Structure 1
Amino acid sequence: MILTPQQLSIQLYTLRSLAEDDPAAVLAKLAELGYRSVEMAGTYGRTAGEFRRLLDDAGLQATSSHVKLNDAIVDTINDALTLGHSFIVVPWAQFDTADEWRRFADELTAAAVLAQQAGISLGYHNHAHEFTQTIDGVRPYELITSNTDPHLVHLEVDLYWAVHAGVDPRDILAANPGRVRQVHVKDRTIDGAMADPGEGVIDFTDLIPMAARSGVIEFIVERDDAHTPYATAETGLAFLRQFC
């Protein structure tokens, strides 16, 4: 056994087209499929307290959320505590200069200090541009990782976007031992389109075990363009269960 059922999750962004109308029904369906945990990306017009009640009613735990990095970070952390999160993750940043990336890294660190005081870990989620862009020969991902404290700012590696950028996720894991705490498990077709986990060409056979050994504790199903969200959720969970 490599993973435990508690380590398997799904990013609710995958089901946003359904959750916008009826998040309670979505959460109930995910619990029916066998999920125990979810990662959030907004509360669909509900307060943190209201959404926590929906989670409790479904018997789900929201361990993580994608959040904005702004002046309201204290409120964000308080909401995360209400929701029962262990993690909050900044999902996107893009800048043109190295100085801007370094300033962003400083902002991540400052927010992570506040989060840590509340017992929550703050992380950063990659797309492709952090690897494909270079500034004075340095990639933004390296600017982030080298200018933040690995004990404060963890990494949530999106496996699809890393591969899409031409990067082997194994190299990210090896270069950041113990720092990658979460991964987004989404697959990629040979022509670069997104696919449900296990239905593309990414070889997860040794990647998932390596991630688990390196310290990843959450394996989160995600597909940005899921045309049949519940099918993606079911396929992704069945795929990850092969490692349990």
Structure 2
Amino acid sequence: MTEPQSKKALTRRRVLQASAGAAAAIGAAGLPVLQTNTPALGDKKLTVEPLIPSQNRGIILYSVRDRITAAPDDSGVPYGFERVLARIAEIGYKEVEFAGYTQHTSILGRQITPAEIRKILDDNGLVANGTHASINAATFQQQLDIAETLGMKNIGTGSDPTNSAYQSDWDAAADLWNELGRQAKERGLRLYTHNHDVAYSFLLDSGPLDANGRPTASSGVRRLEYFFAKTDPKYVFFEFDIYWGYVARFKHRTYTNSRGQVRTDLFDPILNVANRTKRFPLFHAKDGDRAPEQANGHVMTPLGEGDINFQQFFEVIGEPEFHHANWEQDTAPGGAANPGQSLSFADISYKNMSDLTIYRQ
């Protein structure tokens, strides 16, 4: 089994680097900016704290899905919930986000139950902080039952509330999510949705109309930003996938208005959260290298090996006790050639997440 090598060590010097220009712009907008340069201390004592509290460092199990679902083998790599969750706890993670509740039936001779998974969590000192489930009115109460069994505070999905570009469909989705969010709150949970880049593409909400009476132009409002405004902040929450936010910044820069004019609007992932920070209890701390020749402009990497400035991101959005960071890398599984890769990447990413620190007076 080949151990992956870190190609970009997340050094203390590197994690403290921040964009002075971006910080100035954010400060001018009236949002809090924490300084990362060493201040003139005088007699004041400087202390260091983790930027992401240890109890809020998590992993979505989609990153290690190959080992959760693996049949018993002789690779020496953990497989199934019991062994994989034990390894995740050993690495240091305190929380997990689910991406399904099944493992290979040959492990127990049947499928594992949510109650059995909960015992494994408890035995390893792990907390379930969310899930990517199917969110719809027909099965929502059943999903809430599972979430309660697993001890979750949040229940969500990896899909957008609608794949449509049209305002009327987002209106209908907002009505449904407000109701489901109300049901979740009645049972002590928060309902959330997770973004990909297309969620931050532009809504088609203005004329001229096509042959079916649908708008063909945009006022410049992004789909999910419209959804923020249409949903009740008491009932509907969000998990921001930081990587896909930066892909949106790369891909979704222009729209055509009702006059046929092309307009440019730059998406800012930090301000997207900072302007409504208490609506984002969860994050996917997913890293990527810039790759402008690629369709998405980035290529996924273990956390700390890419170009995304997590130090600046988590400093500016604030509320460290409220925010929970789940490491994710869609491309972590190494297949038969390297069955240990996803868990090795989980180890690298946890260490680099732990190295994010903040200095205070």
TM-score class, shorter: over 0.9
| 1:212 matched to 2:318 | yes
| 1:73 matched to 2:179 | no
Contact residue 181 and residue 215 of structure 1 kept, 8 A = no
CA distance in structure 1 between the partners assigned to 2:313 and 2:322 by the alignment: 11
Deviations 1:158-185 (CA, angstroms, capped at 9, x unpaired): 0000001113221111332321111110
CA distance in structure 1 between the partners assigned to 2:330 and 2:318 by the alignment: 24
CA distance in structure 1 between the partners assigned to 2:157 and 2:245 by the alignment: 16
Structure with larger RCO (C-alpha < 8 A, sep 6+) = 2
> 1:217 Cα shift?
1.9
* Deviating 4+ runs (over 4 angstroms): none
Structure 1 pair 89–119 and aligned structure 2 pair: CA distance change class (3 A)? same
> 1:130-145 alignment to 2 at 5 Å?
130-136=199-205, 137=218, 138-145=221-228
| 1:91 matched to 2:158 | yes
- Comparing 134-143 with 112-121, greater Cα deviation is found at 134-143
CA distance in structure 2 between the partners assigned to 1:174 and 1:60 by the alignment: 28
> 1:95 Cα shift?
1.8
Contact residue 98 and residue 131 of structure 2 kept, 8 A = yes
> 1:216 Cα shift?
4.4
Superposition TM-score, scaled by structure 2 size: 0.64
> 1:214 Cα shift?
7.3
Paired residue for 2:287?
187
How big is the alpha-carbon RMSD for the aligned residues of Structure 1 and Structure 2?
1.6
> 1:66 Cα shift?
1.4
| 1:42 matched to 2:107 | no
Structure 1 pair 119–147 and aligned structure 2 pair: CA distance change class (3 A)? same
CA distance in structure 1 between the partners assigned to 2:320 and 2:91 by the alignment: 28
| 1:109 matched to 2:192 | no
Contact residue 3 and residue 212 of structure 1 kept, 8 A = no
> 1:160-175 alignment to 2 at 5 Å?
160-166=243-249, 167-175=267-275
Q: Does the residue aligned with 2:311 lie in a helix, a strand or coil?
A: coil
Matched residue type, 1:120: L
CA distance in structure 1 between the partners assigned to 2:198 and 2:113 by the alignment: 33
Deviations 1:147-202 (CA, angstroms, capped at 9, x unpaired): 10112111110000000111322111133232111111011111111111111111
Paired residue for 2:56?
7
> 1:102 Cα shift?
1.6
Matched residue type, 2:268: D
Contact residue 177 and residue 215 of structure 1 kept, 8 A = no
> 1:18-57 alignment to 2 at 5 Å?
18-21=67-70, 22-44=80-102, 45-57=111-123
Deviations 1:113-142 (CA, angstroms, capped at 9, x unpaired): 111011111111100001124312232112
Paired residue for 1:62?
128
> 1:230 Cα shift?
0.9
Q: Does the residue aligned with 1:157 lie in a helix, a strand or coil?
A: strand
Matched residue type, 1:105: A
Matched residue type, 2:198: H
Contact residue 88 and residue 122 of structure 1 kept, 8 A = yes
| 1:196 matched to 2:254 | no
Matched residue type, 2:317: A
| 1:241 matched to 2:354 | yes
Higher relative helix content: 1
Q: Does the residue aligned with 1:29 lie in a helix, a strand or coil?
A: helix
Paired residue for 2:234?
151
Superposition TM-score, scaled by structure 1 size: 0.94
How many residues are treated as equivalent by the alignment? Answer: 244
